[in-house]
Structure 1
Amino acid sequence: MSGPGNLAQPLPPLLPGTLGHAGQPCTLGVLGGGQLGRMFVQAAQRLGYACAVLEPESHSPAALACPQHIQTDYADPQGLAQLAQRCDAITTEFENVPAEALHWLAQQRPVAPSAAAVALAQDRIAEKAHFSACAPLSGVGPAPYAVIETEADLHAVPVTLLPGILKTARLGYDGKGQQRVHTPAELQAAWQQLGQVPCVLERLLTLQEELSVLVARGRDGQMVHYPPQRNLHRDGILALTQACPGRLAAGLAERAVAASRLIAAQLGYVGVLCIEFFVIDDGSAEGALVLNEMAPRPHNSGHYTLDACDVSQFDLQVRTLAGLPLVAPRQHSPALMLNLLGELWFDAQGQPRSPDWAAVLALPGAHLHLYGKHEARPGRKMGHLTLTGPTPEQVHATARAAAAILGIAPWP
């Protein structure tokens, strides 16, 4: 099926070590200067590519790792023109860059993911419509929901959707732009508090667990994936990811992977795509899958692939962008990833402190990744810690020891 991510003509691969269109080393560009851009740049540089980052902040993680920093707004015409002039292909590290900027760049250079795919992920209404359209083929759909754009929509909401979660259609991230509501009166108050912008109301579900699946799809339609990983969120922000093969029911894992690959294929997607799922109790032994949302980029829950797999999600992002062969990644170690949020840099009295990295790094299989952010703030992603080991039991034990050292709350 042809989709918005397909390019009209096949493109020759951008091979490592070759010269690009400007007679300079082949250069890959990225819109966005956060940690995902930083890890993309590092993966590209290992293969010998030059990189350029367009990012308005002067000391962003990606810009610190890349000598070519175009410091402009994401929609600045001159900055975009510089990026197109310097680069041979361009990607994005987060989904809230203007889709129009990606559309303009795609007229000049290969861009992946496409502007259409990013625009879909920016709008929960469009995203859920796509999930619903895929559901008859995949057998997996979104939670029951209603679109609220007007007062009439608000008053037409079925009572069966309450209690629910009201989410803004755009610009929600890490739990922002969301409110739980239990009654029609609470729903109306929440919609007014959110500015009466277009929203989606989802029925509140009792979750058994949360999963995510990462797939990578090339321009030729070739696709590879990682096994589903189990995630735990706290206050809307990912706290930890467990990637221990064999710990998830086989049928559930197969359905999640199949649904994720179908969504990517139906979009004609090019790049790395993360699909998030809920598992709810439907009376069956495995539980039922519900689609939550998608991210058109590498994902926080896939950071463990840097240390536990022979090909990381960022390696696959480089390969899909450059048109290189995709190989099925192999996970060589069970892993657990802990997000390191800004509150770890403060003690119980709110005074600044430095986490005890020496004690953490003394643990076997500890892989510390700090992103180079200068200011720690509560809720800000400052880095992550991946624990690997020979068995899931050892990984979990080491992760709990690391959490105790850092002051991260224990998990079930």
Structure 2
Amino acid sequence: MSTALGIVGGGQLARMTALDAARLGVDVRVLAGPSDEGVRGVFEVVDGDHDDLAALRRLAEQVDVVTFDHELVPLDVVRALEADGVVVRPGSPALAFADKVHQRRAFLAAGLPLPAFDVVADLPGVEAFAATHGWPVVLKAPHGGYDGRGVAIAGSPAEARDMVEASAGRGVLVEAHLDLQAELAVLVVTSADGSRVVYDPVRSVQVDGMCREVHAVAGHLPPILAAEAGDLGREVADLVGAVGVLAIELFVVAAPDGTQRLVVNEIAPRPHNSGHHTIDGCATSQFENHARAVLGWPLGPVTPRATASVMVNVVGTAGDPRDRVHLVDPAVKIHLYDKSPRPGRKIGHVTAVGTDHDETAAAARRAAAVLEGEQP
């Protein structure tokens, strides 16, 4: 009898996970809402919203394990599935960390390196925090923010007002604004069978709060920093208890003695944009390993396939990138998500691999630019 995997959410993460799972002979079902794009027409879809318990139960009846392509399913819904006896991975304790306030408080209690933070309910609270830590400050909605949404950098009370008022007294996470030297990410994958793999740390490049590029380059980080990133990733994974991929975003900042130190930014208990390069750049992709992990299978090796792998996201423009695929250097690997293009929306990514970092990065950037409408 074949193994069946259910994925909640029908976006690009579900698409890429399902593609790798199907290649392993896994029967895939995806719960997708009316606006979800990426899996329809490729995999069997169970229609329903991610917060609809009845729809999730319909999915669960057809599969052996339920997993997610986002962390937006309400915790009470996840707990209801678990009470039904459904195998849900990651489970509700790990998904609780999607609440950034819970995440920050738990990390602080564990002694993890964090930016200074507080939870405030009004503008005077932001001003009091800024009086101690200085302007600008970083404001974050506790739930649902991604790709720059739900995050604001405020240099004054006037700039903070809109986000505080939008919270309607529910609270906003306010953090000290750090002088960043770089942003890193490390992916830790833990299988239900207890095995674990850790991908090499990568450097990410953010534009307007959205991950634009990911660079996985041998020796690009000082060995001490790379080891610290891996150790932090394992420590966070142990604390969170996630089964599957756990992405840990890290800030590199200057320590008082002039050395570099790492600060934990945020986590995501699912496949992550910072791991897209692994499809073409590693022996086993994050998507295959996520499927393996939640099914309780042994994990694949994560050895890099090349000295340098560079991933660049393709962001929507007015045109259709499928009309320009033939113009892209065929050495660069194209991954389109079958999502309607619109400005600011990630509709695909490209990955280049090679021996020279600068040449590899240039090839990936050229390919993304062509798909976004620039002349080759």
2:327 to 356, 359, 374: 359
Tell me, which stretches of 5 or more residues in structure 1 are unaligned?
A: 1-18, 20-24, 347-351
Q: CA–CA distance in 1 between the matches of 2:363 and 2:127? A: 52
Aligned mates of 2:365, 2:351 — CA distance in 1:
12
In structure 1, the residue matched to 2:335 is: 369
Shift of 1:196: 3.7
Correspondent of 1:338 among 285, 309, 312: 312
Distance in 1 between residues matched to 2:122 and 2:369, nearest whole Å: 48
SS at match of 2:302: coil
CA distance 1:116–1:408, shift in 2 (3 Å): farther
Give the C-alpha shift of residue 59 in structure 1.
Answer: 6.2
TM-score by length of 1: 0.84
**Structure 1 residue 404, shift from structure 2 partner:** 5.1
Distance 1:188 1:65 in 2: 44
Give the unaligned 5+ runs of structure 2.
none
- The answer to whether the 8 A contact 1:161-1:203 is kept is yes
Q: Is the 8 A contact 2:122 2:165 kept in 1?
A: no
Residue 159 of structure 1: aligned partner = 131
Q: Which runs of 4+ in 1 moved over 6 A?
A: none
- CA 1:240–1:355 in structure 2 vs 1: closer, same or farther (change >3 Å)? farther
Give the Cα separation in 1 of the matches to 2:360 and 2:204.
15
Does the aligned pair in 2 maintain the 1:361–1:368 contact within 8 Å?
A: no
The CA distance in 1 between the partners of 2:113 and 2:346, in whole Å, is: 30
**Cα pair 2:192 2:297 within 8 Å, conserved:** no
Q: Which residue of 1 aligns with 2:260?
A: 287
Cα distance change, pair 157–385 in 1 and its aligned pair in 2 (3 A): same
Q: Is the 8 A contact 1:168 1:197 kept in 2?
A: no
Q: Secondary structure at the match of 2:200?
A: coil
Shift of 1:401: 3.4
Distance 1:403 1:271, change over 3 A: closer
How far apart are residue 99 of structure 1 and its match? 2.2
Q: Report if aligned partners of 1:162, 1:181 keep a CA contact under 8 Å in 2.
A: no
Change (3 A) 1:227 1:70: same
Change beyond 3 A, Cα 1:214–1:329:
same
Counterpart check, 1:96 vs 2:72:
yes
Query: RMSD between aligned alpha carbons?
Result: 2.3
Aligned-pair CA distance for 1:154: 4.6
Pick from 369, 373, 388 the counterpart of residue 353 of structure 2: 388
Hey, what's the Cα distance between the residues in 2 that align with 1:327 and 1:403?
29
- 2:8 aligned with 1:31: yes
CA–CA distance in structure 1, aligned partners of residues 372 and 48 of structure 2: 38
User: Higher mean Cα deviation, 160-169 or 282-291?
Assistant: 282-291
- Taking the TM superposition and a 5 Å limit, the aligned residue runs for 1:5-404 are 19=1, 25-57=2-34, 60-67=37-44, 69-107=45-83, 108-121=85-98, 123-135=99-111, 140-149=112-121, 153-154=125-126, 156-157=128-129, 159-163=131-135, 164-184=137-157, 186-188=159-161, 190-282=163-255, 286-333=259-306, 334-343=308-317, 345-346=318-319, 356-362=324-330, 364=331, 366-373=332-339, 375-403=340-368
Instruction: Give the Cα separation in 1 of the matches to 2:201 and 2:230.
Output: 7
Aligned to 1:9: none
Tell me, in whole angstroms, the C-alpha distance in 1 between the residues paired with 2:148 and 2:323.
26
Residue by residue, what CA displacement relative to the aligned partner does 1:354-377 show, whole Å, maximum 9, x if unpaired? 663222134x3x00000111x211
